[in-house]
Amino acid sequence: MSEAVEVTDEKQFTERARRFLEEQGERLKPLLDSVEKSKGLLGPLDVADHLQARIDELGLAEPLAHFREHGYAAIEDVAPPEEMDELREAIHGLAEAPAIPGVGMRSAPYLLGRHPAVDRIATNPKILAFAEVSVGNGLRASQFAGSIMFKSDADLPGVHADQNWLPAPFPEHNCVITFCIPCEGMTSAGGATRVVPGSGAKRRHPTPEEAQSETVPIEVKKGGVAVWNGSVWHGSGVRRVDGTRTVLHATYQRLYTQPIDDYTYLLEDEEYMASAPEAMRGLLGENLFFGTAKPGSMVDMRKFGEATIRSKL
């Protein structure tokens, strides 16, 4: 940015932020108060002041503690069974891609905005609150894809880290978080995602030898979700029993990173946005300043001011 908008210290930042955001009324005041309380230095996986009451109300303290220690967690009672049934029907209906040879799986890519059941879980309060602790306020929708796994005798695949396009060492502030939402629940025999506990602390990709590391399954009851951060080494399980494992893979990213999928076209669909969950506007980056400069005018300073607050939470 130019010297005209350069932030040099915390006091100068808050003064400028308040000046930029006066027109927003009370909408962003709790966020700015949080930034002032942390002095703009909120640590990785710390809970911002404005978010703490919601974390407690939603019962997320225990899975967050496990997430901090191991890099992954299971969150129970995220959505009622009937919502999972509707999500399963949506994924099966939208799974146009043929089965992947040799792995017993079909995929349903690019799902956000294509079915109310997908949008409902994408904006679920427990998921968004948990994601905010990991990848910050102002987080973006990155990738929403479904998979249908069938019984297979294939070997377990190797492990990887989801931040594949980031150089190592990965940032201390996590940039990518993935929620695995199993519509029927998820067991080891049923093909549960497998992780290497504690591997995220290495903040790098596994070596070819480490890709075959010993893993543990993340087992989840119907209505719950599995979650891991972008540094954790993990891989798909293999289904050894009859039936299917139907999953929505929901990935969110820190606001300054490039999302995998581009869903911003939805912002131009007035009919869709009129009925979309309110949180969808933030996930689509409606108030981000990137790309707002034009010949004869600098970036949208209102949006820039808002991003400087959200990026610190």
Q: Which domains does the chain have, with CATH numbers?
A: 60-289 (2.60.120.620)
> pLDDT tens for residues 32-78?
899 999 999 999 999 999 999 999 999 999 999 999 999 999 999 99
pLDDT less than 50: residues of the chain: 1-8
For residues 301 and 5, what is the distance between their CA atoms, to the nearest angstrom? 9
pTM, two decimals, is 0.91
For residues 103 and 47, what is the distance between their CA atoms, to the nearest angstrom? 39
The whole-number pLDDT of residue 138 equals 96
User: 246 φ, ψ to 5°?
Assistant: -105, 120
The whole-number pLDDT of residue 5 equals 42
Beta carbons of 9 and 16 less than 8 angstroms apart: no
Q: What is the DSSP letter of 231?
A: T
Q: Residue 296: left (phi > 0), alpha (psi -120 to 50), or beta?
A: left
Amino acid type, 78:
V
In the chain, where does DSSP find H-type helix? Answer: 10-20, 29-38, 49-57, 61-70, 81-94, 116-122, 125-135, 270-275, 280-283, 301-310
For residues 191 and 151, what is the distance between their CA atoms, to the nearest angstrom? 9
| Strands, sheet with 216-217, edge to edge from the N-terminal-most edge strand | 216-217, 194-195, 234-235
